[in-house]
Amino acid sequence: MAKRPQAMKIVRPLRTEADYDAALVEIERYFDKPPKRGTSAADRFDLLALVIDDYERKFWPIDPPSPIDAIRYRMETGGYTQADLGRLLGSRQRASDVLSRKRRLTMPMAWKLYREWGIPAEALIRPGTSRKTRRIAAE
């Protein structure tokens, strides 16, 4: 006699730490032996990954790097020097001022960094805070 398939528990949105912990325990079993594509186990794995990702984005968001951190990271990974940045931005002094946060990135600078060095525009263009906003936040 064939074994009857066991009914699977429905994957629901995670609302508590307990829900999150239980989902992590359940998804871990797939790490050693990934499910075959097109199976109900693969569908379950995908759904668990989605609800876990959603929960983590809501409760533990990771802020994107600052534009300067993004530039420094690209310099490090691409083997670029401050002199290279100076050539790209127009002068060594301008590059120094940008890296030391004495000068803000302009749109033309951000465009060059995106086009020439491949730094994502989202990492370079972020809404700034005005002096008034900073002063109010400090009070």
Number of domains in the chain: 2
For the chain, what is the mean pLDDT?
87
What are the pLDDT digits (tens) for 69-89? Answer: 999 999 999 999 999 999 999
Domain span holding position 74: 67-138
| Backbone torsions φ then ψ of 94, nearest 5 degrees | -60, -45
Average pLDDT over residues 24-49: 92
55 and 71 in a common domain: no
Q: Are 67 and 124 in contact (CB under 8 A)?
A: yes
Confidence bin at 126 (pLDDT 50/70/90): confident
Q: Are 19 and 25 in contact (CB under 8 A)?
A: no
- Alpha-carbon span 107 to 113, nearest angstrom: 10
What are the pLDDT digits (tens) for 55-71? Answer: 999 998 888 789 999 99
Amino acid at 86: G
22 and 50 in a common domain: yes
93 and 50 in a common domain: no
CA proximity to 110, closest of 125, 127, 126, 98: 125
